Structure 1
Amino acid sequence: MITKIHKVDVLHPDPGIIKEAGEVIKKGGLVAFPTETVYGLGGDALDPGAAQRIYAAKGRPSDNPLIVHICETGALKELAAHIPDKAAILCERFWPGPLTMIFRKRPVVPDETTGGLDTVAVRMPDNRAALEFIRAAGGFIAAPSANLSGRPSPTTAERVLEDMDGRIELILDGGSSVIGLESTIVDLTSDTPLILRPGYVTEGMLKEAVGEALYDPAVFQKPSADTRPRAPGMKYRHYAPEGELKIIKGEEERVISYIRKRCEELKNSGKKAAVIASEDTFSRYDAFRVINIGKRSDEEAIAGGLYESLRQCDDEGVEFIFSEEFMTPRLGTAIMNRLTKAAGYEVIEV
């Protein structure tokens, strides 16, 4: 299969390109497309075969549910068996945007799309090209991130092509993703909204909108082998680079001292080591590769650069990666959720 790439202006997408992408979906094919979070790998959400092709293209376990992307809020009633009042408030406040909500599903949503669950995850992205593509494809696009399962999510079309070349029909190149982390996921099947994956829409923002929201304990725990994932990212290793990643946590000087010592040891043994550090400290490291991920005060820069930093390490054949902790005030929970999973929960306190 030859994978085609079309550049699209996310503010003024070419109708001809959008129509072509929609036709690919209607014929059962797969299209990678830009969103404000990361690039998605889209197929017809109501076609069981399309879901199976998404799993195959990614090498993704089929019990890992897919998010259904829609282009207008009215489409939600076709997917969800019940839409609570709090959902309507969240739709009004955060859609289109980086929030996914989980509902009891209607029979029209195939089990292949939901990983066998009786619930469906739904989002409306804040990207005009994505919305027009979803509309042209029939209105319901199942889409995980457009990368091989387990790898860092792609925030550019070039990174999509690295993983999906020859596996899918088309990539819509809309430039770099604005946010760079996947959407917040909230389960609305019980009275209290339950956060299953942290993201750009924070716990505080949810509480401000609907009065209450709780984190699922699984967000902060390493999942067991028999865990059944209720949302993407809850069970399997995600976002991981090829090199061995460890997070070093503690007082700043102790963290710097530890990482410097480990990098020197690895250099002396002929190994390539990298450090992911803030702008405040990166100049104090000496390693094969030192990545300045941004100022700690610029949370958006850290979030937006995380996956690209991990991919850069892969580009250069880095064998060991040491990352500082980035528990920043607003997005820290989301950043560290992704980084901790990428590290396989390997956190060293010094």
Structure 2
Amino acid sequence: LTMIVPKGDCIPDEVSCGLDTVGIRLPSHPMARALIRESGVPLAAPSANTSGRPSTTTAAHVMHDMDGKIAAVLDGGACGVGVESTVITLALERPRLLRPGGITLEQLRSVLGEVDVDRALYEKIGDDVKVSAPGMKYRHYAPKAPVTVVRGNPQDTAKYIAERISDATGVLCFDEYKNMFPNCIVECFGSKDDLGAQAREVFDRLRAFDDTSVTQIWAQCPSDEGLGLAVANRIKKAAGFSVIEI
């Protein structure tokens, strides 16, 4: 969980992208916690991926993006959750969810009561709109080929995509429907009912398309309940919110 709070004068502007707030979190991974403990100071930690690219969930992903730019990688194994931390701002009149993650909106509301949801989770934000955290506005988590998301009943979305594929098409789909897309590149990111697997696999599968010759990617997408809100948000942002509802 990342909590955004008003920052004091002791926090450098470089840490907060010039904003008057700062995001604070404590990792759950024992290696990350050991690093913080050994350093004896708070650590400023940007994401370990090239801006706009799918997030890194393994040390190999980090080396692919950052080799030659950083001194070392501490390999603690694959990320347990996959999607990044939930981001909530506490600097407004009411708590507001800015980025869904492993801690769900339902869990937050069970503790905090009312929690607003930022519209950037559901739609593309205009260039003139001031956002509350970096990375909320632009196409993000994106492979090289453009992505189109199809939302609705999984069987119906699979059929819709199957009617539009070609040899140069990539498909990000639930495990149950992989055989519906012959003669194209298929990446499965978990069963339609296994949100945990989807959260762990979505970035790895999006990255896999960059090792192929696909020129267009179609993607299935979970509903917004529970952890599905985080998975759906990442896929829609990878698509620049190019979404077809059926």
**TM-score (norm. length: structure 2):** 0.94
1:135–1:299 CA distance, 2 compared to 1 (3 A): same
Higher helix share: 1
Partner of 1:209: 111
Partner of 1:134: 36
Partner of 2:243: 347
Partner of 1:297: 193
**1:100-249 matched pairs, under 5 angstroms:** 100-249=2-151
Where structure 2 has 5 or more consecutive residues not aligned to the other structure, the ranges are: none
CA apart distance, 1:282: 1.8
CA apart distance, 1:328: 5.6
Contact persistence 2:154–2:192 (CA under 8 A): no
Partner of 1:250: 152
CA distance in 2, matches of 1:249, 1:117: 35
What residue identity is the alignment partner of 1:157? A
Contact persistence 2:95–2:115 (CA under 8 A): yes
**1:319-330 matched pairs, under 5 angstroms:** 319-327=215-223, 329-330=225-226
Q: Which residue, out of 257, 267, 278, partners 2:174? A: 278
CA apart distance, 1:253: 4.5
Contact persistence 2:54–2:143 (CA under 8 A): yes
1:161–1:125 CA distance, 2 compared to 1 (3 A): same
State the Cα deviation string for residues 200-234 of structure 1 (Å, max 9, x = none).
Answer: 11111111112221112232221111233311331
What residue identity is the alignment partner of 1:201? I
Aligned alpha-carbon RMSD (Å) = 1.6
Structure 1 stretches of 4+ with a deviation exceeding 6 A read none
Contact persistence 1:179–1:300 (CA under 8 A): yes
Q: Percent identity among equivalent residues? A: 41
> Whose radius of gyration is greater, 1 or 2?
1
Contact persistence 1:203–1:214 (CA under 8 A): no
CA distance in 1, matches of 2:42, 2:213: 39
Contact persistence 1:100–1:122 (CA under 8 A): yes
Q: What secondary structure, in the 3-state scheme, does the structure 1 residue paired with 2:170 have? A: strand
**TM-score (norm. length: structure 1):** 0.67
CA apart distance, 1:151: 0.3
Corresponding residue pairs, total: 246
